[in-house]
Amino acid sequence: MILDRRQAIVTSSIFLPPFAKGVLGNLAISNCSDLICNYTPVSFREDIKLEDLFLYRGNTIPLDDVAQVVDPEPDLLMEGTYDDPLALKYFECLEKVLCAFPVRPSTGHIATSNQQEAGKWGQTVSVWPLGSSWAYVWPEDNEIFFPTKCKDQCDDSELALNQRLPDALHRNREVLFTSWFDDQQAVSLPKNFKSLRSAFLIIPSRFDAQLKVELQKRNYGLS
């Protein structure tokens, strides 16, 4: 059963600053917090602030710089992403279950509040979706999407769609997310950002404490 609040969470208008896609360079953490406070979904920041927990991914290429904007191709429907061949069947099943929604394996990426779990995939980095809208889904009955009790089947999984992110953060659940810029905002974006979907900022977890201080100073960009 899919528990759905709405198909997407839409936030106020945002405009991306004129930085180039790719490595941001040796930005101060204060610059990163400004980027987060101004160019990530408001509802995402509200929930992160509420729980005082970040979402993480394992970055396969270690970052030498403080931060980087990335827009990788979704890889959950690619062979070899998981070692288990049943994983592809599971995510193909999940794709069908979520076919009517913006977030699904073909459009999204997985993150988790569990740093240990994220670290299995590479360097642990906090994840900050970029966009004026975003959508997410997480499994109610398991910390991770795969493997599950049903192995390659997902039909019986209870999925929480666009709701209770604080609960997912607190329970160390994996979160499949996607974000995008609405057409109205895209008009004002730099050319190399107009087609971005599910782009996000990543910051090595070793900067977490500093980042939290800077975000708290700015109240996470919330009024």
Identify the band that residue 132 occupies on the pLDDT scale cut at 50, 70 and 90.
confident
Q: Which two tokens stand for residue 76?
A: 């959950």
What's 16's DSSP letter? -
pLDDT score for 25: 44
pLDDT score for 139: 93
- 10 Å Cβ neighbour count for 186? 15
Mean pLDDT, residues 57-80 taken together? 86
Percent of the chain with pLDDT over 90: 57
Q: Is residue 184 one of the residues assigned to a domain?
A: yes
Identify the band that residue 18 occupies on the pLDDT scale cut at 50, 70 and 90.
very low
Q: Is residue 14 one of the residues assigned to a domain?
A: no
Q: Is the per-residue pLDDT at 174 higher than 50?
A: yes
209, 54 contact by CB (below 8 A): no
Please tell me the total count of domains within the chain. Answer: 1
Which tops the pLDDT comparison, 69 or 87? 87
Q: Which domain holds residue 201?
A: 2-8+20-221
Q: Which two tokens stand for residue 5?
A: 């609040």
Identify the band that residue 7 occupies on the pLDDT scale cut at 50, 70 and 90.
very low
Specify which of 22-26, 53-57, 60-64, 183-187 reaches the highest per-range mean pLDDT: 53-57
pLDDT score for 199: 87
Question: Exposed (0-12), middle (13-18) or buried (19+): which is 135, by Cβ within 10 Å?
Answer: buried
On average, the pLDDT of the chain sits at 83
Distance (Å, whole) CA 223 – CA 220 = 9
Q: Is residue 73 one of the residues assigned to a domain?
A: yes
- CA-closest candidate to residue 130, choices 193, 75, 174: 193
